[in-house]
Every structure is written in structure tokens, then in C-alpha cells.
Amino acid sequence: MDYPKIVVKPPGPKVRELVERESRVLSPGIGVKLFPLVPRRGFGPFIEDVDGNVFIDFLAGAAAASTGYSHPKLVEAVREQVALIQHSMIGYTHNERAIEVAERLTTIAPVNEPRIIFGMSGSDAVDMAVKVAKFSTGRPWLLAFIGAYHGQTLGATSVAAFQSSQKRGFSPLMPNVFWIPYPNPYRNPWGINGYENPDELINRVLDYLEHYVFAHITPPDEVAALFAEPIQGDAGIVVPPEDFFVQLKGLLEEHGILLVMDEVQTGIARTGKWFASEWFRIEPDLLIFGKGVASGMGLSGVIGRAELMELTSGSSLLTPAANPVISAAAKATLEIIEKENLLENALRVGAFIMKRLREMQEEFEIIGDVRGKGLMIGVEIVRDERPDPELTGKICWRAFELGLILPSYGMFGNVIRITPPLVITEEVAERGLEIMETAIRDALAGRVYKKVVTWH
């Protein structure tokens, strides 16, 4: 195959110049710069930088570029819409494209009798879900999981528990939030092997919630909702035991507590189903979506049971939300996923990647765990079963030099994240995995002297 294509060792001169210029005008608060990468254009699952290097993309812009880059149908839909009208605020007027997107989302979401609120990013959608939960229940407390990443607005930061550095200097945050351990089968506070003993792990989490949190921290009748990712994303693609959410929801329902599933990263076909909640056989009370719904172009929202969504008029108004151009992008995205069978592609190529990674795991002791669903896959790198973020960062840096965008992240910075565009083929995936394997060998041989940046 023709790609990747490295014409100058990355980062090239144009990239270095732009990175230096950016440092003079933008705050470091805008993000964690995983790679010195300045894209010029994208096509399919590939990104070309300003120096002419072409990379295979295993990141998809934080799993947001669901249909890849510059998909002809997406480009056409956006071009046609912006030529007609680029802005019509759904807070004051009505928007045909937004209505069409909402109608489609309500048919695919695993929520009973759903209605929708639109936002612009996962973060503001989390804030809106907080408002819905508190308004509809009249209760003050929220629960969430350790390791959860829910966003960067003040409310979303208050609910998240991914890295403490993301909260430093911003207190007081929103009060009345408490966190419990997530049932990570590979690495949990109790040292339980959740793959061999899933019921024991589930029982330990539920026992902690019922007999410690509800008994000693907050009365359950004052808890509005529990926020959860069906598969924890930034914590390192953590997949819970299959029966966990069914049992959790049963306990929550005993106390009238809502289950809010944050599917910003896991939703819109990423895991091989429209929403990952379907893997765990549950219907959330509220479901948060974003990222991939408009191929990364800035649409999000909350899908909730109708009786929960009767909010005060204008209380969830955001000026650019679901504007005609973004709604056209979302409509095109959903149609592309359906017509091009990208759900099936996510399952097929995801299974292919998992098989190859497990073969690597047999060869390399440093691969402690391989996990995921569809095209949301994590590879945990360890030394003597302990997280090794240094080696992980070097593997990912070497992959970058060879033409593969391969990020490292996770609660301990030692998980390789594989979330490519849903249009990726087995051929492209295989080439990316070949590069990853070479990068592992080079890093183990001491031939890599730099590492990628990750959350800290």
C-alpha cells in the first residue's frame, strides 16, 4: 500500500515552526499535545501534515472522526447547507436538519420514549445531564466512577475523576459529588482477577456502594444520578464485566437513582453497536452523546426519558447548538455509517486488530492486557505487572516516527489507545499493527530516545 509515507523525519521543519508559533499565542490549557503534528489535510483513515508526511491514524481525533476525513458525502452535505444558510438558532427558531437528526437518534438510542437536548461538545452535554438529573429528581447528590473522564467545563470537571491535575487550582468545584471504584477486571483496588472471577468483582463494587457509600456517605434518597461510561475511555479502554450494569441499575432503581451513561466516546458505532450500552443490555435513563455523531464537527446532546426532559424553557439554550451546518454533517454521518455498514466494519476490523494484538501479547511480556469492543481498543504496557508509562511513551513515539498516530494514555499513562476512523480497512489496520510491532521491538532494544506526551 502507498501509506504511510514519510518524506521528512517528523516533526519536520514546517511543523516545528508552527508549534513554536502556537506556543506564543495559545494557552497550554487548550489541550495535551500528544504529538508534534500539524495536519494539512486528511483522507479516509490518513492524515497528511504540513511537511507532506502521511500518517495512518489510530486516534481519529479522540475517536471523533467517525467517518474518517473528507468523506465525499460529508463534504457535499456541509457545502450544500452552508450555501443555503449557515446559522439558525434552535433556541429561538426551528431547524429542519436538527429535527431530522433528533428523529434518527431517538430511533437508535436504547432509551425508552426519548427526547433530546442538543449541545456542542461532550463537556457541555455532561453539564446539561447534571441539570436534567437534578431538576427532574429534586435531589442534590451525584455519584461517578474513579477514572471517569467527563469533560472540561466546570460541571464536567466536577463529575470527572480521571487525573487530579485537571482539578488543581479550580476549587471550589460543584459540591455533592462522590466517586466509587470502577470494576476494572485487570487492575482494581481489591486485586481481583475480574476476567476469571467477574461476579466477585461486581459484588465488591456493589457492596461498596450499598454498605459504605449509601450507609456512611450520603443517603440514597438524596442521590439524583450515577454517571458512568459503559467502557471507560481515557482511563484506558476499561471494559467492565458483562453483567455489571444490569446489576448496578437494579440497585439504583431500588433507590430511585437515575443511571446516566456518558457515551460521548463509546457511542455512534464506535464499539460495533450504535451505543455501547447495548453490549451490557441496559436502557439508561439519560444518555450523553457527542464526538462522532457529526464526524467531530461539534455536536453533542442528552437523550433522556421524556418525563425527565420537561425542563424550564430556555434552560438548556446554547447559541450554536445543532446549527444547520453541523446538523447536516450529523445527518450525513449517520447515513454514511448505516449505508456503508460501518457498524459491521467496526466489529470485523476490531476483531482482526484484537486477534493480532493477542498474538503480540503471546510474544511480548510487556503487553499485560488487551481489551475493547469494536474499534475501541486498549493495550496495557507493563513491567513486572506494574504500569510502565515510560516504555509506552517510547513505543508511541517510535510509531509516530514511522508514520502511525498511536497515542498513549490511561490512568497511569501506560495504555496504548487504538480508536481509528470507522472506515479503516483490515489492510490499513494490518500495516498500522506492523508499525506498532516494530516500535515495540525498537523501544525494547533501547533505540528510542523520546516519548509522546500524555495526560499527567
Distance from C-alpha of 308 to C-alpha of 442, rounded to nearest angstrom: 54
Kindly report, residue by residue over 356-389, the tens digit of the pLDDT.
Answer: 999 999 999 999 999 999 999 999 999 999 999 9
Distance from C-alpha of 347 to C-alpha of 32, rounded to nearest angstrom: 30
pLDDT at 345 over 90: yes
pLDDT at 455 over 90: no
pLDDT at 456 over 90: no
Give the residue from 175, 222, 195, 166 showing the smallest Cα distance to 32: 166
DSSP three-state, residue 148: coil
Kindly report, residue by residue over 347-361, the tens digit of the pLDDT.
Answer: 999 999 999 999 999
The distance from CA 330 to its chain's CA centroid, rounded to whole angstroms, is: 17
* Residue 300 backbone zone (phi > 0: left; psi -120 to 50: alpha; other: beta): beta
Kindly report, residue by residue over 87-120, the tens digit of the pLDDT.
Answer: 999 999 999 999 999 999 999 999 999 999 999 9
Distance from C-alpha of 452 to C-alpha of 456, rounded to nearest angstrom: 12
CATH number of 73-340: 3.40.640.10
Widest distance between CA atoms in the chain: 62
Kindly report, residue by residue over 198-248, the tens digit of the pLDDT.
Answer: 999 999 999 999 999 999 999 999 999 999 999 999 999 999 999 999 999
pLDDT at 397 over 90: yes
Interior angle at CA 65, CA 429 and CA 336, nearest 5: 90
3-state helix, strand, coil in the chain (%, to 5): 40, 15, 40
Q: How large is the C-alpha radius of gyration of the chain?
A: 22
Distance from C-alpha of 138 to C-alpha of 222, rounded to nearest angstrom: 8
pLDDT of residue 409: 93
pLDDT of residue 269: 98
Structural element, H or E, at residue 371 = strand 367-373
Structure-derived torsion over alpha carbons of residues 303, 307, 313, 316, reported in degrees to the nearest 10: -30
Mean pLDDT of 151-158: 96
pLDDT of residue 1: 77
Distance from C-alpha of 382 to C-alpha of 412, rounded to nearest angstrom: 10
Interior angle at CA 165, CA 159 and CA 169, nearest 5: 85
Give the residue from 86, 158, 384, 144 showing the smallest Cα distance to 262: 144
Is 0.75 surpassed by the pTM of this model? yes
CATH topology of domain 13-61+341-445: Aspartate Aminotransferase, domain 1 (3.90.1150)
Distance from C-alpha of 422 to C-alpha of 428, rounded to nearest angstrom: 12
pLDDT of residue 221: 98
Structural element, H or E, at residue 438 = helix 426-444
Residue 287 near residue 263 (C-beta atoms within 8 A): yes
What is the sign, positive or negative, of the torsion defined by CA atoms of 167, 170, 171, 176?
negative
Kindly report, residue by residue over 42-79, the tens digit of the pLDDT.
Answer: 999 999 999 999 999 999 999 999 999 999 999 999 99
Domain boundaries, the chain: 13-61+341-445, 73-340
The distance from CA 317 to its chain's CA centroid, rounded to whole angstroms, is: 24
Mean of pLDDT over the chain: 97
In DSSP notation, 84-112 reads: H-S---TTTS--HHHHHHHHHHHHHSSSS
| DSSP classification of residue 301 | E
Bridge partners of residue 48, in order along the sequence? 41, 54
Structural element, H or E, at residue 248 = helix 244-254
Percent of the chain, pLDDT > 70?
100
Residue 234 near residue 149 (C-beta atoms within 8 A): yes
Phi, psi of 292 (to 5 degrees): -75, -10
Give the residue from 352, 378, 351, 419 showing the smallest Cα distance to 66: 419
Kindly report, residue by residue over 254-307, the tens digit of the pLDDT.
Answer: 999 999 999 999 999 999 999 999 999 999 999 999 999 999 999 999 999 999
How do strand 223-228 and strand 258-262 relate by DSSP bridges?
parallel
Do domains 13-61+341-445 and 73-340 share one topology? The answer is no
DSSP three-state, residue 199: helix
Give the residue from 50, 45, 79 showing the smallest Cα distance to 65: 45
| DSSP classification of residue 276 | G
Alpha-helical (H) ranges within 1-121 are 13-25, 60-63, 72-84, 96-108
